Amino acid sequence: MPEHQEQLPNPAAVVPTPAAALPEPAPSPGVAVAAAPAEPTPSPAPVDPAPALAPETGQPPAETVPASEPSLLEKFDKEKPQEQPGEAKPGDQPKPVEPAPAQPAAPVPVNYEYTLPETLKMDDSLKGDVHKAFDAFRADPAKGAQGLIDLHAKTMLDYATFLSNEQHRIFNETRRSWVNEVMSDPQLGGSGHRTAMGAIARMRDQFVPEADRPAFEQFLRVTGAGDHPQFLKLLHNVSRFYDEPPLPPPNPKPTPTNGLPPKRGMRSLYNQSS
C-alpha cells in the first residue's frame, strides 16, 4: 500500500454527520474554482456537533440527542407570530360600530297649575316630589311611569300612618274628657270619688265571674267604657240598691191602734174603739 495513501477508518464505526455540518471538499491543487455567488438562504437551526467516538471502543455514546431538544412542532409554534387580542384576521368582516344611545333631552321647565281639594294638604316637600315625578314622566314616559307609581304608594302609606295616629289621638282625648267629667260629677267625683269607685268595683266583682275578668277588662280598655261616666253611674246605682235598706212603700195602711200603745187590763179586750 502506498505510504501517502491514508488508511480509512472502519465504516461501521463512523457516525453519519448531518449534511449541513459536513465540511466542504477542498479544491484540487492547481485548479482554480470560481466561487459561486452566495444565495440568501435561511440559517438552519443549530445542530449539535457529531458526538465524539468512545476512546477505546470507537462507538458513539448511547444518548446522542439531548432530552431538552424541542420538536419541529414546538419550534413552529414558537416561531409563528402570535395573534394579538382583537387583531383582525384575514377574511374577517369588520364589526359595525353601534351608535351610542341617544340621551333624552332635558324637559323644558313647566309651571304646573292645579287645584287641590280641601281634603288634601301639600307642603313644599311633597310638592317638590310631585313636580319631580311629573318632569321624569314628560322626559321618558316609559320609565317615568314608575316614578308616579312609587310616589302614589309613598303618599298612601304616609296617609295611612297619619290616619292611625290621628285616631289614637282623638280616642285618648275623648277618654281624658270622660275622666274630667267623672271627677266633676257630684255623685262620682269630689271627695267621695274613692268611695264611689269602691262600690263600683264591688259590683263588678259580684256580677263578673273571675274566669271572665280578663275579657271584661279588655272590653273596658278597647272601648274606653271604664272611663265613661254613664257606665260608672250604672254600676254605682246598682251598688246602692244592694247596699242600702229598701224604702217603705208609699201611703202605708195604719194599724188598728194608729200607733198608740196597747191598753192594760181586761177592759181593753172589749173596748177596741176607745
Write the CA distances from 110 to 113, 132, 265, integer angstroms. Answer: 9, 11, 121
pLDDT band at residue 99, thresholds of 50, 70 and 90?
confident
How would residue 121 be classed by pLDDT, with cut points 50, 70 and 90? confident
- Quote the cell numbers at residue 217: 277588662
pLDDT recorded at residue 52: 46
Over 60: is that where the pLDDT of 32 sits? no
Query: How does residue 70 score in pLDDT terms, banded at 50, 70 and 90?
Result: low
- Per-residue pLDDT of 140-161, as tens digits, reads 999 999 999 999 999 999 999 9
**pLDDT digits over 202-222, tens only?**
999 999 999 999 999 999 999
Q: Cα–Cα distance between 89 and 124 in angstroms, integer?
A: 63
Compute the average pLDDT of residues 119-125: 88
- Count of CB atoms within 10 A of residue 182's CB? 20
103 Ramachandran zone, left/alpha/beta (phi>0; psi -120 to 50) = beta
pLDDT at res. 91: 62
pLDDT band (50, 70, 90) for residue 31: very low
Q: What is the mean pLDDT of the chain?
A: 74
